Amino acid sequence: MPRTTPRPGPAGSPEAAAETDVVVVGMGAAGCAAAVTAHDAGASVVVLEKTSAAESGGNTRVSGGAWFQHDDPERAAVYLRALAGDRPIPEPVVRAWAEGTREVSAWIESLGARVLPTGDYTAEYPELPGSDCYGGYLCVEGVLGDGRLFTALEKAVRERGIPVHHETPAEQLLTDPATGAVTGVRTATGTPIRARRGVVLATGGFEGDPELVRTHLGLHDVPVWGSTAATGDGLRMAQRVGADLWHMDNMMAVDGITRPGSRHAFFAMFLYSHGYLWVDESGERFVDECAPSGHGQALVDGRYVLKPGRPMHVVFDERTRRAGPISPDADVLAVGWNVLVEGYRWSKDNSVEIERGWIHRADTVAELADLLGVPPARLTASVREYNEACAAGRDDRFGRSPATLDPVTEPPYYAYRSGPVLAWTNGGPRRDEHARVLRPTGEVIEGLYAAGTVSSTYSWAKDGGFHIADAIVFGRVAGAHAAART
């Protein structure tokens, strides 16, 4: 039977649950998986969630909710090792990931959700060994996005009667001064909650914290595609008790448009025209804009590099403006904070967002350059060179595919600055195959676990559906291991 020792405090408040077996911090995919698994293993569990019920679920809530399918742990391990390249992931973690990701669908079905394939997704890095294991996307009800995965996970937590304390951020880990083992957490209001068996950090990444983003990713104050609650809280809490870090310079970013005054940005997809180019702060093109990209990386000049990985200006023309919405709304891609939580519908011809000033407009490329603050002569030359490549059907400089060489010749011209937009970060406290957080010496910090984007498995390249799978696999591992601790 789950055991919770009640303490004085209003029923349902964190004070009323001042002692429990397992405290789970954060209620996204990793937190829900940890809470449900620990509960089902017989532990009493309390979940602390920073945001309100309407905003909880972090990136899981606004994600595609898709995980990748495979039925071959051997080949999946080969693929993960190849994706990691010269940043190898510890072999026991690779093995746990490869075995665990095969079980994700069965576990979600065991919660009562219907799991079906969606779309026609193939491996993003078919050139790498092991990519043949990749069996496409699976989703709840076979529907990408729309919050369906989070709804199913939240229901499983609720059905078990696991107490969830919303608007209760955890702020500090409690430790045993003699052993350094983690014994609980303190909330932002100062309430200590003792965890007899363990604390699972499942607080998401640090993309919502400008200072951490600047330090570890070299990007200045970029907006996010998902939840702004991902401010690296778990990372900081773990660091304070001596955790080592891993994968801090890895991320997934997208080309996107910022709404002034908001930390949430829109994903720019250019589904209806390829007539656009990317230039840097000096007005120069710097990459094949349409190089096939995985979730964060693309193969450029024989190396897997972050793409997009730097600030840029995206320039297009009237033809592309008219062709269709450059940012998809919920009918096309029901993901992202602005689309799902705020319900924003992008105008069909982009005119509303241009009128609102989110996208600059000018009659000439030189005038557009002035609005962007880049040298007019350089931007004019970049657009001219790009159009020459379109006319020739060959991009000698960056090798952009001829099929994507749509010219940018029809005034007026448009542009926006893409920071780029951070989808999520990958780094955090280093952990082992049991999701136990480690010190720089490799020793385990007893009683402390991390799962999901707070400490993702991915050291470098990663494929579609890998992150939900990772959150669920190591959330389950953490919940089971913590519940079994005495």
Ligand X SMILES: Cc1cc2nc3c(=O)[nH]c(=O)nc-3n(C[C@H](O)[C@H](O)[C@H](O)COP(=O)(O)OP(=O)(O)OC[C@H]3O[C@@H](n4cnc5c(N)ncnc54)[C@H](O)[C@@H]3O)c2cc1C
Summarize as ranges the residues that interact with ligand X (CB under 6 A): 25-31, 48-51, 56-60, 62-67, 169-170, 202-204, 225-227, 229-230, 233, 335-336, 423-424, 452-454, 465-468, 471
> Which of 440-471 are b and which e, b meaning 16 or more Cβ less than 10 Å from the residue's Cβ?
eeeeebbbbbbbbbbbbbbbbbbbbbbbbbbb
Cβ at position 84, least distance to ligand X in Å:
17
In angstroms, rounded to a whole number, what is the distance separating the alpha carbons of residues 13 and 11?
6
Residue type at position 76: A
Cβ at position 229, least distance to ligand X in Å:
3
Cβ at position 285, least distance to ligand X in Å:
27
Return all residues near 210 (Cβ < 8 A) that are at least 6 apart: 220, 221, 222
Cβ at position 208, least distance to ligand X in Å:
9
In angstroms, rounded to a whole number, what is the distance separating the alpha carbons of residues 471 and 35?
12
In angstroms, rounded to a whole number, what is the distance separating the alpha carbons of residues 306 and 286?
13
Return all residues near 373 (Cβ < 8 A) that are at least 6 apart: none
Cβ at position 40, least distance to ligand X in Å:
18
Pick between residue 37 and residue 63 the one whose CB is nearest to ligand X.
Answer: 63
> Do 269 and 275 contact (CB within 8 A), yes or no?
no
Pick between residue 49 and residue 317 the one whose CB is nearest to ligand X.
Answer: 49
Cβ at position 469, least distance to ligand X in Å:
6
Pick between residue 338 and residue 382 the one whose CB is nearest to ligand X.
Answer: 338
Cβ at position 108, least distance to ligand X in Å:
13
In angstroms, rounded to a whole number, what is the distance separating the alpha carbons of residues 220 and 226?
18
Instruction: Tell me the two tokens of residue 195.
Output: 């965890």
Residue type at position 303: R
Pick between residue 121 and residue 414 the one whose CB is nearest to ligand X.
Answer: 121
Pick between residue 62 and residue 438 the one whose CB is nearest to ligand X.
Answer: 62
In angstroms, rounded to a whole number, what is the distance separating the alpha carbons of residues 103 and 484?
20
Pick between residue 369 and residue 450 the one whose CB is nearest to ligand X.
Answer: 450
Pick between residue 31 and residue 429 the one whose CB is nearest to ligand X.
Answer: 31
Return all residues near 261 (Cβ < 8 A) that are at least 6 apart: none
* Closest to 361 in 3D by CA, of 255, 281, 377, 353: 353
The distance in angstroms from the start CA to the end CA of the chain is 15
Cα 346 to chain centroid, rounded? 22
* Closest to 131 in 3D by CA, of 462, 458, 460, 456: 462
Cβ at position 237, least distance to ligand X in Å:
7
Pick between residue 233 and residue 406 the one whose CB is nearest to ligand X.
Answer: 233
Cβ at position 172, least distance to ligand X in Å:
10
Residue type at position 442: G
Cβ at position 355, least distance to ligand X in Å:
26
Pick between residue 207 and residue 406 the one whose CB is nearest to ligand X.
Answer: 207
Residue type at position 15: E
Pick between residue 408 and residue 472 the one whose CB is nearest to ligand X.
Answer: 472
Query: Exposed (0-12), middle (13-18) or buried (19+): which is 303, by Cβ within 10 Å?
Result: exposed
Pick between residue 138 and residue 314 the one whose CB is nearest to ligand X.
Answer: 138
> Do 262 and 356 contact (CB within 8 A), yes or no?
no
Cβ at position 441, least distance to ligand X in Å:
26
The DSSP secondary structure of 135-204, one letter per residue, reads --EEEETT--STTHHHHHHHHHHHHTT--EETT--EEEEEE-TTT--EEEEEETTS-EEEEEEEEEE---
